[in-house]
Amino acid sequence: MVGVVLAVVIALIVMLGLYDLIQRRHAILRNFPVIGHFRFLIEKIGPELRQYIVADNDEERPFSRDQRRWVYATAKKENSYFGFGTDDDLDKSGRIIFRNAPFPLNRKSSHDASVPCGKILAGWRTRSQSFRPASVVN
* pLDDT bucket at 110, cuts 50 / 70 / 90: low
- Average pLDDT of the chain to the nearest whole number: 79
Residue 15, pLDDT > 80, answer: yes
Residue 78, pLDDT > 80, answer: yes
Q: Give the start-to-end residue ranges of the domains of the chain.
A: 1-44, 45-82
Burial class (CB within 10 angstroms; exposed 0-12, middle 13-18, buried 19+) of 29: buried
Query: Buried b vs exposed e over 72-92: b needs ≥16 C-beta within 10 Å?
Result: eeeeeeeeeeeeeeeeeeeee
pLDDT of residue 5: 94
* pLDDT bucket at 9, cuts 50 / 70 / 90: very high
Length of the chain: 138
Burial class (CB within 10 angstroms; exposed 0-12, middle 13-18, buried 19+) of 28: middle
Distance separating alpha carbons of residues 31 and 55, to the nearest angstrom? 28
Kindly report the pTM of this predicted structure.
Answer: 0.41
pLDDT of residue 132: 78
Average pLDDT of the residues in 89-107: 74
Q: In this predicted model, what pLDDT tens digit does every residue of 30-39 receive, in sequence order?
A: 999 999 999 8
Look up residue 1 and give its DSSP letter: -
pLDDT of residue 113: 65
